[in-house]
Amino acid sequence: MSVAEDAISALQEAAAAYHGKIDDINNQLDAKKQELDASIAALGARLVWAGGPNGHSLGEGLVDMDLSSTHLEANSVYATVTGAEITINKAGLYMLHGFVLQHSGGGQRYLVVLINGEVYQFTHSGSFGGWSTGYPSVLHKFSEGDVVKIQVQVFGSNLYRAHSHGRHTRVHLLYLGGLA
């Protein structure tokens, strides 16, 4: 064999060994994912709803964020989503999480999560220009009839309280199970 053929053969052997290691890592990750999925299933977790605003929320002032556009229609056993409100239909432990892209040319940005009209989460981003993402994050034991809203506000110039639905602003609601 020539030097070039030896080098190619050595590289092919090294690549095969490398791919074998990657396959092992992927198999380990798959096994961990299956464990996690089984743990979540044991809790009775369900993705109940996924969506966000139907368009940009422009301007100043605190407003309820529109939730009328959906990726996954609400499962009415667990919750209903109307306009800017999520109403819980089945008591239990829920997780609400997501991301809200906001813009201001040098002003303040606010994101507020309300449960039954009371502030549960308050997020503030300081005065810098450009885009910023707020992350609504709620892990809460809800009762039937509880209402969740997300409010958004920005100050400054070129204002986006919430950039439009899609890859910029999304919210998800998961039911994690009933609690004794």
CATH of domain 46-177: 2.60.120.40
Name the nearest CA neighbour of 170 among 50, 7, 89. 50
Phi-psi region at 125: left, alpha or beta (left = phi > 0; alpha = psi -120 to 50)? beta
pLDDT per residue as tens digits for the range 163-180: 875 678 889 999 998 875
pTM value > 0.75: no
Distance CA 154, CA 78 (A): 32
* Neighbouring-strand partners of residue 1: none
Q: How far is CA 51 from CA 84, 107, 127, in A?
A: 11, 27, 28
pLDDT per residue as tens digits for the range 59-99: 888 889 999 888 888 899 999 999 999 999 999 999 999 99
The domain locations on the chain are: 1-43, 46-177
Name the nearest CA neighbour of 136 among 118, 123, 119. 123
Q: What is Dmax (Cα atoms) for the chain?
A: 78
Give me the half-sphere count of Cα atoms (radius 13 Å) on the Cβ side of residue 38. Answer: 6
List helix spans (H) across the chain.
Answer: 3-43
